[in-house]
Amino acid sequence: MSTQARAGRLGSLLTEQVRQPLLRNGYALVLNSGTTALLGMGFWVLAARRFTVEEIGVGSALVAALALLSTIAQLNLANVLVRFLPTAGRNTARVIAGCSLASGSAAVVVGVVFLTGARWWAPTLPLNTHDLRLDVWFVVALVLWCLFVLQDGALSGLRQSDWVLGKNTAHGVLKLCALLVPVIALSSYGVFLAWTIPVAAILVAVGLVMVRRLVPAHVARTASLAQPVAPRQIVRFASFDYVVALVGTGLTSALPLVVLETSGAATAAYFTLAWSISYSLYLVSRSMATSLLVEGAGDVSRLGEYSYRALVHTSAILAPLVAATVLLAPVLMRMFGEEYAAEGSTVLRLLALSALPSAVVVVYSAVERVRKRMLRLVVVTVSINATALALIWVLLRTHGLPGLGVAWLGTQTVAAALLLATTLGPMWVPHLQGRMASWLVRVASDARSDAHRRAQGRLLERHYPELAATLGLDPAWQVQRVFPTVGDVAVAEVGGAVSKAILKLALTDRGSDALLASCRAVDALSSDPRVDGWAGLLPRTLAIGRDSGRLVVLERRVVGRDGRDVIAQAPDDIPVSTVLGDISSLHRRTGRTAVMDAPLLGSWVDEPVALLETWLDPTAPPGATGGLRTLLRHGWQGRTVTLSWTHGDLAPGNVVFSGEGRRTAGIIDWERARADGMSELDRTHFLLTARMLREDRELGSLVCELVRRPELGAGGLGDPALVLLAWLDHVVGIVSKSDRFPPNGFWAARNVHPVLRQVGSMT
C-alpha cells in the first residue's frame, strides 16, 4: 500500500470516528485536558521562576484547598448535568439553574466554615490570620470555581464539548498572563490570585452564550429524546455520587495538603508539580468517561460497547504519553529547577504509570453512573481510596515521596484488576475478537474455577472428620481428589490406598435439594422394572447423612475413564454413539409420545423463559426473551415428542467409560432427572456438549452458529428449534444450580447474551 493510500485510509478512519458522538466529544474533552495540562505546566514553570519554593508550596496548597472545598461545595452536580441533560428536554435550563444555585450557596457556607476553622485543620495556610482581603477573595473564588466546573458539566451534557475546550484554554492563557501583572507578581499569594482572577470573566462570557444559543438549540434538537426529570431521581443520584466525589476527587485534591502537613512546604512543592504533570494524564480517561456518561445515558443497551471503546481509545492515547513521561521525567521536572528534578522524578514516574490502571477505574465509575447503581459505586470508591490513603500515610512517612507513588500505583493496579475480572470484563467479552480474547477469557474462567475447587477442597478437608463419622467411613480413609463442580455441591474421591467412593457435600440448601433430587431419581430408576438390566449404569448410593443441616451423600465410585477425556481424544464418533445408544434405550423403555399442546408449551417454553427473565439484568438486549419465547412456541407448537425418564444434564463430564473407551461404565449426577422429560433434549444436549468439547468452543458460539446456519448441524443438530430449546434448558439448569453465574459474568457474556442477540436479530 502506497504512502498516499495509507494516509487516505487513516484520514477516512479519523473522519469516521469524529462522526461518532462518543468519540467526537471524548476527543474534544481529551484535547481540552491536554491543552489545560500544557498551559498548566507553563503556568507552574513560569511561577517557579518568579516565586520562591516556599511561596510555590503555599500557593499550590491554596489552589489544592480551593479544589478540595470545591469538590465539597459542588455537591457533584456536574455529573448530574452530564447524566440528565442529554434527555432533559424543556427542563434543561431549569436543571442548570437549580444546580448552579445549589452549588453556589453551598460554596459560600463551605468557604466561611473552612475559614473559621482554618487555624485548626490547615494551620500552614495563610487564612483567617491577618489578611481579610485574601479571606474574602478565597470565598468568592470558591463560588466562582464551583460554577466554573459546573459549567463544564453543563456544556458536556449539552454535547458542546468544544466549548469546554475553548473556555479552559482561555483560562490557561489568562492565568499565565496574570503572572506577568506586577500587582500579582509582587504578591506573596500571586500563584493563587493568578489562578483564580481570570475565572470570573470567562464564567460570565460563556454563560451568556449558553443562555442565548446553546440551551435553546439543545432543547430543539433533543425534543424527541426528552424524558421526565423527577427531582427525587436526581437527588438520589446526586447524593450517592456526592459521596463518590468526596472520597475520590476529594482524596486527589487533598494529597498536596497531606504532603504539606506531613513533610513540609518544600516537599509539598516537589509533589505538587509532579502531581500536576501526572494528573494531566488522568484527565484523558476522565474526559473520555464524561463522553461515555453522556452517550451511555442516551442508550443504555449499548453501554458494554461504548465502555469498551472508551477504554480502548483512552489506552491508545495514554500508553505513549505515559511512556514518554516515564522516560522524560527528569527533563520535565528540571523545567522547574534542579532541586525539583532531584526530588520529584521518581514519584512522577510512579504517578504516571498509575494513569493506566486508573483509566479502568474511571470507566467503571461511568458505567455504574449510567446504570444508576450508585450504592455499589460508593462502596468500591470508598474501598479503593481508603486503602490508598492508609498506604500513603504509612509509606510517605517511611519512604518519602517514592513511597507515596508506590502506594498510589499499587492501589490503582489491584483495583483495576478486580474490576476487570468482576464487572467490566464480562461486559466487554462480546466485543473482544481473536484468539487473544478467547485466551484471556479462558484464563480468567480457569482461574476462577481452580480457586473455587481449592476452596471446596479446604472445606472438605476441614469437615472430613465429622463427615466420616456421620457416614461411618473407615478412619483410614482420606480426601484424595476434589472435582470441579458447577452447582453448590463439593465432590471428592475418598479412600485409602486407592479411591473407594465419591463423597458429595451440599454447600447450600440449594445443593441439598440437588443431592436429594439425584438420590430420589436413582432410587426410582433402580426400582423401576422397565429398566431392569439398564440400571447397572446408575451410581449406587452407599450412605446418606446430614452435616450442620446440609445433606451428605456417599456413592460407589464408578471405575473407568472420564467421558471428557475419552470423547476429546477419540478418533471417531464411537464413544458418542455409544452414549446416545445407551440413553436412547432408557428413553424407549420408559417413554410415551405426546403432542406439544398449550400445557406442554407452558412447561417447556414459557416457564423456562420466565425463569431466564427473572435472572437477567437490565443490560439484556431489549425484547430478546420475548423473541425467544415467540420463536420456540412457533417451532414446537403441535410437534410430537417423547416424554420419558431423562438425565436432564447429559454431558461428557457426567459419563464414565470403560478402560478401552468403547463402552459406557456409568452415567452420574442425576439431580436434573425427570420421569416426564423430553428425550429429544437429552440427546441434543449431549451432542452439543460433545461438539463443544471437540471444537474447544463455548456453547453460546456453537448455538449461534447452528441457529444461523442449520446446515452445519449434521448428526442431529440441524433443527434450530431443538437446539435453542436444549440451550434454554441448559442455561436454566446452570443458573438454578448456583449463584456463581451472575447475568453480568463471563459465563453469561459468552453463553447467554450472544444467543439472545442472535434470536433478537431473527424476530
pLDDT at position 26, please?
65
pLDDT at 50 over 80: no
Is 263 strand, coil or helix? helix
Per-residue confidence band for 7, with pLDDT thresholds at 50, 70 and 90: very low
Contact by Cβ (8 Å): 699, 730: yes
Strands (E), 557-695: 561-562, 592-595, 640-646, 655-657, 664-667, 674-678
Nearest to 306, CA basis, from 319, 320, 294, 318:
294
Share of the chain above pLDDT 70, in %: 89
For the stretch 121-142, pLDDT in tens is 767 677 766 678 888 888 999 9
Alpha carbon distances (Å) from 571 to 565, 566, 568, 652, 661: 12, 10, 9, 16, 11
Report helix, strand or coil for 601. helix
**pLDDT per residue over 166-181, tens digit each?**
888 898 889 888 888 8
Helix residue ranges per DSSP H, 472-573: 509-526, 563-569
Q: Is the pLDDT of residue 621 over 60?
A: no
pLDDT at 701: 86
Task: Please report the pLDDT score of residue 278 as a whole number.
Answer: 86
pLDDT score at 638: 94
- For the residues 662-682, what does the mean pLDDT come to? 94
Are 48 and 273 contacting, i.e. CB atoms less than 8 angstroms apart?
yes
Exposed/middle/buried for residue 517 (C-beta within 10 Å: 0-12, 13-18, 19+): middle
- How much is the average pLDDT of 49-70? 79
* Cα-to-chain-centroid distance, residue 688: 30
Kindly list the distances between the CA atom of residue 158 and the CA atoms of 162, 221, 295, in Å, as whole numbers in the listed order.
11, 10, 11
How many DSSP H helices and E strands does the chain contain?
31, 11
Query: How many residues in total does the chain contain?
Result: 763
For residue 238, the model assigns a pLDDT of 80
C-alpha cell at 23: 468519540
Q: Which is more confidently placed, 467 or 523?
A: 523
CB 519 within 8 Å of CB 543? no
pLDDT at 442 over 70: no
Closest by alpha carbon to 691, among 718, 731, 663?
A: 718
Q: Which domains does the chain have, with CATH numbers?
A: 12-431 (no CATH), 450-556 (3.30.200.20), 561-762 (3.90.1200.10)
Q: How confident is the model at residue 150 (pLDDT cuts 50, 70, 90)?
A: very high
Determine the angle formed by the axes of helices 199-209 and 161-178, rounding to 10 degrees: 160
Mean of pLDDT values over 548-575: 89
- The answer on pLDDT for 464 being more than 60 is yes
What pLDDT shows up at residue 749? 80
Residue 709 phi, psi dihedral angles, 5° rounding: -135, 80
Structure confidence at residue 617 (pLDDT): 64
Question: What's the sign of the alpha-carbon dihedral 103, 108, 113, 117?
Answer: positive
Which residue would you say has higher pLDDT here, 498 or 310? Answer: 310
For a pLDDT cut of 90, what percent of the chain falls above it? 31
Decide: helix, strand or coil at residue 48.
helix
Question: CA 313, CA 71: separation in Å to the nearest integer?
Answer: 28
Least confident of 4-18, 146-160, 162-176: 4-18
Are 157 and 20 in contact, with CB atoms under 8 Å apart? no
Report, as an integer, the average pLDDT of 421-430: 79
Tell me which of 431 and 88 has the higher pLDDT: 88
Using one digit for the tens of pLDDT, what is the confidence trace for 298-352? 667 678 878 888 888 888 889 999 999 999 989 888 887 788 888 888 989 999 9
Q: Is the pLDDT of residue 496 over 70?
A: yes
User: For residue 641, what are the CA distances in angstroms to 596, 680, 731?
Assistant: 7, 7, 21
Confidence of residue 253 (pLDDT cuts 50, 70, 90): low
Cα 92 to Cα 154: distance, rounded to the nearest angstrom: 9
Q: Are 501 and 556 in contact (CB under 8 A)?
A: yes
First to last CA, the chain: 42
Q: Which residues contact 595 (CB under 8 A, 6 or more apart)?
A: 638, 639, 640, 641
What are the pLDDT digits (tens) for 625-653? Answer: 888 999 999 999 999 999 999 999 999 99
* 44 or 431, higher pLDDT: 44
Q: Are 535 and 450 contacting, i.e. CB atoms less than 8 angstroms apart?
A: no
Residue 393 has pLDDT above 90, yes or no: no
Q: What is the mean pLDDT of residues 437-463?
A: 71
Q: What is the mean pLDDT of the chain?
A: 84
- Residue pLDDT, tens place only, 685-721: 999 999 998 888 889 889 999 998 888 887 789 899 9
Per-residue confidence (pLDDT) for residue 14, from 0 to 100: 46
Q: How confident is the model at residue 624, as a pLDDT?
A: 62
438 pLDDT above the threshold of 60: no
- Whether the pLDDT of residue 437 is over 60: the answer is no
| Strand partners of residue 643 | 592, 678
Residues 6 or more apart whose Cβ sits within 8 Å of residue 719: 710, 713
What confidence score (pLDDT) does residue 499 get? 66
Q: Which residues of 411-426 are buried (b: 16+ CB within 10 A; e: fewer)?
A: bbbebbebbbeebbbb
Which amino acid is present at 211?
V
Looking at residue 95, its amino acid is: V
φ/ψ of residue 676, rounded to 5: -125, 40
pLDDT score, position 635 = 92
**HEC per residue, 58-113:** HHHHHHHHHHHHHHHHCCCHHHHHHHHHHHCHHHHHHHHHHHHHHHHHHHHHHHHH
604 has pLDDT over 50: yes
Whether the pLDDT of residue 75 is over 60: the answer is: yes
Answer whether residue 15 shows pLDDT above 60.
no
Confidence grade of residue 13 (pLDDT, cut at 50, 70, 90): very low
Name the packing angle between helices 303-334 and 338-353 (round to 10°).
160
Q: What is the rounded average pLDDT of the residues 396-421?
A: 90
DSSP for 320-387 reads HHHHHHHHHHHHHHHTT-HHHHHHHHHHHHHHHHTHHHHHHHHHHHHHHHHHT-HHHHHHHHHHHHHH
Q: Which three cell numbers stand for residue 756?
A: 439472545
Residue with cell 444546580: 99
Confidence of residue 593 (pLDDT cuts 50, 70, 90): very high
Angle between helices 720-737 and 509-526 (to 10 degrees): 120
343 contacts 463 by C-beta, under 8 angstroms: no
Distance CA 118, CA 140 (A): 16
Helix 231-263 and helix 265-298: axis angle, to 10°? 160
Look up cell 464411537; give the residue: 574
Asked whether 750 and 698 are in contact (CB, 8 A), the reply is: yes
Count of Cβ atoms closer than 10 Å to residue 169 Cβ: 17
CA distance linking residue 189 with residue 319, whole number of Å: 37
Sign of CA dihedral 465, 466, 469, 473: negative
